[in-house]
Amino acid sequence: MLWSNRQAPAEQAAECAEIAATAAEAPLALALSVGCAPCELHFWVRYSLSEYVSFMWQHTGFLIRRRRIGWPVNVYMRIKSTLGAALNFMLLRRARRMYEFTIDDHGIVRTSDTGVSLIGWDDVMGLRSYARGLMMVLKRGTLPIPFRCLKGDEADALRALVAAHKGGGQE
């Protein structure tokens, strides 16, 4: 994915300063409602196994309910999928990695010790809210974002960014 339409750092800094001045006068939620989206969200995530399993259990339940699968098969598929996700989590040693997220109008950048993932907004299918956080649903995969890693109104800002780029965004 090429992001050749990015602004120069000086232009982006000037735009961020202008938006920050506007947002300083009103709460972030008000600034988002009038169309002044923040320049970027920046946060770090280190997943725990229990948190990751919780995300997968809830998301798998949503996917299975959406397909209207009967009770015995529903439970079997939910357990099998969640255990598979937990095994994948342990084998890839995700608990040891710190992920740095930068989300802005150009897309999502996820950085870790294994490399950088660039995700454009055209790859984002929606945003789901679960008990432990938000789950960004991508064309191929998901991106769990725990509430504990977001400060203040950043969850609302993330919802607003997804809504702005997906025309509603929430599933």
pLDDT of residue 20: 45
What CA–CA distance (Å, rounded) separates 8 from 6? 7
**33 inside domain:** no
Whether residue 38 is predicted with pLDDT greater than 70 in this model: the reply is no
pTM for this model (two decimals): 0.65
What CA–CA distance (Å, rounded) separates 36 from 43? 20
Number of domains present in the structure of the chain:
1
pLDDT of residue 3: 42
* Residue 109 pLDDT level (bands cut at 50, 70, 90): very high
Instruction: Return the higher-pLDDT residue of 132 and 29.
Output: 132
**134 inside domain:** yes
**9 inside domain:** no
Per residue in 81-94, pLDDT (tens digit) is 888 888 888 887 87
Give yes or no for a contact between 7 and 16, defined as CB atoms under 8 angstroms apart: no
Instruction: Return the higher-pLDDT residue of 120 and 24.
Output: 120
Give yes or no for a contact between 43 and 158, defined as CB atoms under 8 angstroms apart: no
What CA–CA distance (Å, rounded) separates 165 from 151? 22
**13 inside domain:** no
**121 inside domain:** yes
CB atoms within 10 A of CB 38: 22
**138 inside domain:** yes
Q: Name the residue range of residue 100's domain.
A: 39-168
**29 inside domain:** no
In terms of C-beta distances under 8 Å and separation of at least 24 residues, what long-range contacts does 108-117 make, across chains too?
108/136, 108/143, 110/143
Q: On the CB side of 50, how many CA atoms lie within 13 Å of its CA?
A: 1
Whether residue 29 is predicted with pLDDT greater than 60 in this model: the reply is no
The owner of tokens 């999928």 is 81
